Structure 1
Amino acid sequence: MTKYLTTTIDGLEIFYREAGAPDAPTILLLHGFPTSSHMFRNLIPALADKFHLIAPDYPGFGNSSMPTVDEFDYTFDRLAEVMEKFIEVMNLQQYSLYVMDYGAPIGYRLAVRHPEECRRSSYRMAMLMKKDYKTFGSHSEHIGKIKL
Structure 2
Amino acid sequence: MSRFHRMAWAVLGLGLLGSTGCAHNQARVAVTHEGEAEKCQLLQSVLKEPTPAKLVRELASEGREEPTPVVVFVRRPEESMLERFFAGDEPLCGDGTFKVVQENVLDAVVVYLQEVQDGYAYDARRAGPEQLSLEGTPQGLVRREGPAWVAAPGPI
The structure number with the bigger radius of gyration is: 2
Which has the higher relative contact order, 1 or 2, with Cα contacts under 8 A spaced 6 or more apart?
A: 1
TM-score with structure 1 setting the length: 0.28
